[in-house]
Amino acid sequence: MKTDKKRSGIPEFHHIISLALAALTVVAIVYYGSLPVSYDYKIGSIAVSDIYAPRTFTDTYETERRAVIARETAEDIFVKSAAVSEENINRTKQFFDLAEQVRTDLMKERAVNSQISSMEGANRLAKLVSQNLKKDISASKLLSFIDMSATAFPFIRDKSVAMAELLMTEEVGLADLPSKIQIQISNFKTASPSYSSYADSMAAVLDAVIEPNIIYDETASADAAQNAYNAVMNDPVIIDKGARLVETGKKIDDHVYSNLLDLELIRDNKFDLVILLRVLLYIAVIAICGFFYLNSEVKRTTIDNPVFYMLIVTFLVPIAASIYLSKLSSIFCIVVFFTAVCSTYMGTHNGIILSLFNFMLIWPVYNFDTQALFVNVIVIVFCAVFAGKSTKISTNASLILYPTLAAITSSLCYGFLNGATRDEFINAGVFALISCIASLVAAVGLSPIYELLSNAASPVKLIALSQPGQHLLKRLFMEASGTYSHSMMVANLADSGAEAIGADALLCKVASYYHDIGKLEAPLFFTENQADGINPHDNLTVMESVGIITSHTENGVKMAKKERLPYAIIKIIDEHHGTTCPGYFYHKACEEAKSMGLQAPDIENFRYHGHIPSSKESAVVMIADTTEAAVRSKKITNADDAEVLIRALVRDKIDQDQFKNSGLSFDEIEKIILAFRQFYEGVFHERIKYPS
């Protein structure tokens, strides 16, 4: 197919000038964005503007300060002392030795003087405990040890010593000693309810004779303090990119000045020729790669001038915005804005490649941040796939949702693999969410304006054209109802065939609605619109009939251009018959020539004046159109016969070289045939017979 000069893409002179100006703009933006910020400040200077961190860095000043605080406030270490534990157990045993001694003495004295009271024995025991154990226990608490029976005393003694031993198996501090003793006493009451009356006295003794068995460990405490210091130093304070270091009007203190030194921001701010040369070399390498890629795509991709300039402007928007967005976060990048627009108008493949070029030009502004590279590559691929292969009304939601999820997931995965802090995780997820949603919502929101300027076959435009209320579709329905019905069937066939090979099903379906609009010029000259057996061709010569039949593609192109249909649909209208010829009229002309003894006419005079399909979508519509007309003409009623006919029709088109520029493979043709068969299986399915 000959390409219209205005659609030839990049070779035109004004295109080259536009690209050159765009390149100079990119150089200026990238150079400005790559310049390191510098300040002529000293300690005590007053900041004349807010200063933000140009990159994520370690705050050595604050890290050291926190480490020192952690070392000085580290808790002292106490360890269990075996000697103290043994001493507590021995004191418990000594108490009962003293109690037994008093009980024995009191028994002997009562044999002589029965008037000696138990309280006197309790006072005597309290005095012995004070002298020998250096512990004070009131006599009233000790009275039960004097009065208890000879069988109860050894039991209480064994239980008390056992409690002391059990307590000393743990680390017991001053704060938790009473509660631990109370737990032992409670357990004793539960296990030995018959002796629970002695529980309070036992608790009093244990409270008095048991001391905490943990002691201060000087060496361990010093090690703990050093470990606390090292822990903070090993987990330094990280200042995220975009964080404000100092506010306008605030004094540059030691902390801020240390941060500025860490970031190398204390230096001269002059024109840097070295940086400019680096930027020029970097952009030149990318530009050369882009030139070779675009040069190869010119032969396969055609775009209108409005689309060309629209894409250039859209290409520059993320680059210009990066100067400001890069100060906030390395994740805050809106390349997907360009990806969504480019993929919509130039397809998934071009959307990915050109978006990668776009990001590579932005990358220096983000200080060649690897996280930005990783996240944007992932998001570009997801966005290009959904924007470049849009077939449903719900595509806009998918276009926003899935790339956004990809951005969040990839940013979190990168942080996880690199041991990011919690704040880095949160910031990465938030900025990925905001930048991706904002970019894609803007792309979707601006799509009506792009549609108005470009008139390209975007999903929004195609969905609008598919509505039955469209002007041309209403005309088809009213003026050529047979052609309308035929177009609807072709649309369903083309949709199933395109889905089977991964082509643009929405484009195929909508283009099928309009592929025969040229028949509106003379609807009654096409059999599907004829009624009552009246055929206007009976009053015309063969060549006059051929002229009317073959002109419907040219008339369709003229009407489509007048109605500003997308160029992709216009191409399909032009190509849906390729360079074939109406077989009926050619056969009729051959019969007439034979009856008059003349040679068969030249078949070239009978061919359509269009072009062979230049895309898979155009080829699918051609096969669907031919199939629907042939199946209807031959009144086929089962899928097997339909498949045989479809294969014969496809073979005929292959023999006439109709698919050589379409990009269809034999495997894809087979998938289309099987999809058409499945479609007709649904059309020809059996139904139950209803009673008359």
pLDDT in tens, 273-317: 777 788 888 888 888 888 888 777 655 555 666 777 788 888 888
- The answer, yes or no, to whether residue 563 has pLDDT greater than 90, is no
Model confidence at 271, in pLDDT bands (50, 70, 90)?
A: low
CB atoms inside a 10 Å sphere around CB 285: 11
CATH 1.10.3210 maps onto the chain at 460-683
Distance, in Å, from the CA atom of 139 to the CA atom of 125, rounded to the nearest integer, reads 8
**For residues 8-21, average pLDDT:** 62
258-267 in b/e form (b: 16+ CB < 10 A) is bbbebbebee
Q: What is residue 601's predicted lDDT score, i.e. its pLDDT?
A: 83
Q: What is residue 393's predicted lDDT score, i.e. its pLDDT?
A: 44
3-state secondary structure 575-623: HCCCCCCCHHHHHHHHHHHHHCCCCCCCHHHHCCCCCCCCCHHHHHHHH
- The answer, yes or no, to whether residue 10 has pLDDT greater than 50, is no
**For residues 551-570, average pLDDT:** 89
Q: Is 184 in contact with 197 (CB distance < 8 Å)?
A: no
Judged by DSSP in three states, 40 sits in coil
Structure tokens at 321: 């915005």
CB atoms inside a 10 Å sphere around CB 225: 18
Q: DSSP string spanning 417-472?
A: HTT--HHHHHHHHHHHHHHHHHHHHHHHHTHHHHHHHH----HHHHHHHTSTTSHH
**For residues 328-332, average pLDDT:** 77
Model confidence at 625, in pLDDT bands (50, 70, 90)?
A: very high
Higher-pLDDT residue of 23 and 500 is 500
Model confidence at 511, in pLDDT bands (50, 70, 90)?
A: very high
CA triple 334-337-342, angle to 5 deg? 140
* First-to-final CA distance of the chain: 56
Q: DSSP string spanning 291-303?
A: HHHHHHHTTT--B
Q: What is residue 8's predicted lDDT score, i.e. its pLDDT?
A: 39
Residue type, 150: A
**For residues 243-270, average pLDDT:** 80
Q: In the chain, what are the helix, strand and coil shares in percent, each to the nearest 5?
A: 70, 5, 30
C-alpha torsion sign, points 628, 633, 639, 643: negative
φ, ψ of residue 78 to 5 degrees: the values are -115, 140
Q: What is residue 35's predicted lDDT score, i.e. its pLDDT?
A: 63
By mean pLDDT, which of 77-81, 132-136, 571-575 is the weakest?
A: 77-81
- The answer, yes or no, to whether residue 76 has pLDDT greater than 90, is no
Percentage of the chain surpassing pLDDT 70? 91
Residues 6+ apart with CB under 8 A from 83: none
- The answer, yes or no, to whether residue 2 has pLDDT greater than 50, is no
**For residues 46-61, average pLDDT:** 83
Model confidence at 14, in pLDDT bands (50, 70, 90)?
A: low
- The answer, yes or no, to whether residue 491 has pLDDT greater than 90, is yes
* Residue among 428, 425, 378 at smallest CA distance from 403: 378
Model confidence at 495, in pLDDT bands (50, 70, 90)?
A: very high
Model confidence at 78, in pLDDT bands (50, 70, 90)?
A: confident
* Residue among 432, 526, 430, 551 at smallest CA distance from 476: 526
Q: What is residue 488's predicted lDDT score, i.e. its pLDDT?
A: 93
- The answer, yes or no, to whether residue 620 has pLDDT greater than 60, is yes
Higher-pLDDT residue of 611 and 421 is 611
Structure tokens at 417: 């693999």
**For residues 160-168, average pLDDT:** 91
- The answer, yes or no, to whether residue 622 has pLDDT greater than 90, is yes
pLDDT in tens, 378-424: 988 988 888 876 544 446 777 788 888 888 888 888 888 877 777 77
* Residue among 658, 676, 342 at smallest CA distance from 499: 676
Whole-model pTM? Answer: 0.53
**For residues 213-235, average pLDDT:** 88
- The answer, yes or no, to whether residue 3 has pLDDT greater than 50, is no
CA triple 648-652-653, angle to 5 deg? 120
Q: Is 80 in contact with 171 (CB distance < 8 Å)?
A: yes
Q: What is residue 424's predicted lDDT score, i.e. its pLDDT?
A: 77
Q: What is residue 86's predicted lDDT score, i.e. its pLDDT?
A: 93
Q: What is residue 633's predicted lDDT score, i.e. its pLDDT?
A: 85
φ, ψ of residue 130 to 5 degrees: the values are -65, -40
Model confidence at 101, in pLDDT bands (50, 70, 90)?
A: very high
Residue 604's Cα: distance from chain center in Å? 56
Residue type, 21: L
- The answer, yes or no, to whether residue 79 has pLDDT greater than 70, is yes
**For residues 229-255, average pLDDT:** 87
What's the CATH class of domain 460-683? Answer: mainly alpha
Angle, helices 395-417 vs 370-388, to 10°: value is 160
Distance, in Å, from the CA atom of 392 to the CA atom of 249, rounded to the nearest integer, reads 55
Structure tokens at 351: 């959307």
CB atoms inside a 10 Å sphere around CB 272: 15
Q: What is residue 219's predicted lDDT score, i.e. its pLDDT?
A: 86
Residue ranges of alpha helices (H) inside 502-541 are: 505-514
Q: Is 649 in contact with 632 (CB distance < 8 Å)?
A: no
Model confidence at 5, in pLDDT bands (50, 70, 90)?
A: very low
Model confidence at 661, in pLDDT bands (50, 70, 90)?
A: confident
Higher-pLDDT residue of 529 and 125 is 125
On average, the pLDDT of the chain sits at: 84
